[in-house]
Amino acid sequence: MTRMTRTLTGLMTATTLTAAAVAPAMAETWDMPLAYSATNFHSAVAAEFGKCVTTGTGGDITIATHPAGSLIAGNDIKRAIQTGQVPIGERLMSAHQNENAVFGFDSIPFLATSFADSAKLWEAARPTVEKVLADQQLTLLYTVPWPPQGIYFKKEVNSVADMAGTKFRAYNAATARLAELTGMLPVQIEAAELSQALATGVADSMISSAATGYDNKLWESLTHFYEVDAWLPRNYIMVNSGVWDGLSDANRAVITGCAELAEYAGNWRSREYTGFTLQGLRDGGMTVEPASDTLKAGLQEIGVTMTEEWLAAAGEEGRAIVEAYRAMK
């Protein structure tokens, strides 16, 4: 644990102890499904958020996290929260792009390729995303970006033409479309199934962060990671709006405070984890290097196509998000 991590954890603890004077009501346990492993930094932040809420509400609400899809599979988490099967959970936002294109704002290739730009894009998109979620009886608590996305292969790749025919792990509409435009074969694989799928040859390429590769020891199955910084997708924590509205003002205030701290800690950890996991891939034996100029140029052409397609699908809301973001730069 780094000094900064200890500081953030201490801050969350101190804040919740201060808030623990809230008068106890009938205690309840919130089961919180997570799609990623317990060691993933998103899951670690969610676990600390849960402790923050448990302490801060004086035990009124105990949050129990269930990582790695152990309670509910990642693809089913959002629906489970909407239907009241669980009150709270975490999901990759762009996984819902098929139901509303707005959810894919953070997976537009080469629109926001740094943490600073990702933060600006989220600022532009947040009001619209929150409105869409509210219409679905969901309340947003916090979001945390993944590190910049690179591409993994089981071979050397120097151009888009070299990508053709590889079995490509898709985790949202954007990654499936990327596969189609590059001649790869998209295969839907959830995070909890990733290592086995790659080891057994169900897929032999993917786009993701160095963090995913490090957490899953992808050097055991794949050989190359190309830094293309395509986008920084976000995970988000949401709560059933009916449950949220039924809380006391005091407990809502505690949860909001814990969410703000978790978002801060998660953003910091994502930045810290980027360099650490890139080196971890190298130490595991993987070739880690920037994409060649030819490969990058080919991907950027595809990015233009995907941006136009997303704008057409997202309509005026999507165009307003992109325009607001570009006005900040």
All CATH 3.40.190.170 domain ranges in the chain, comma separated = 3-102+118-145+235-276, 150-230+283-328
Q: How would you class 262 by CB atoms within 10 Å of its CB: exposed for 0-12, middle for 13-18, buried for 19 or more?
A: buried
- pLDDT at position 1 is 47
pTM for this predicted structure = 0.90
Cβ proximity of 259 and 142 under 8 Å? yes
Determine the Cα–Cα distance for residues 307 and 325; give it in Å rounded to an integer: 14
Class of domain 3-102+118-145+235-276: alpha beta
The CATH architecture of the domain made up of 150-230+283-328 is 3-Layer(aba) Sandwich (3.40)
Tokens at 269, concatenated: 């950890």
What SS3 class is residue 206?
Answer: strand
Tokens at 68, concatenated: 């790695």
Instruction: Produce one character per residue of 119-154: b if its CB has 16 or more CB atoms within 10 Å, e if not.
Output: ebbbebbeebbeebbeebbbbbbbbbbbbbbbbbbb
- pLDDT at position 192 is 87
pLDDT < 70 positions in the chain? 1-25
- pLDDT at position 14 is 47
Q: Give pLDDT tens digits for 248-287.
A: 999 999 999 999 999 999 999 999 999 999 999 999 999 9
- pLDDT at position 10 is 53
- pLDDT at position 3 is 46
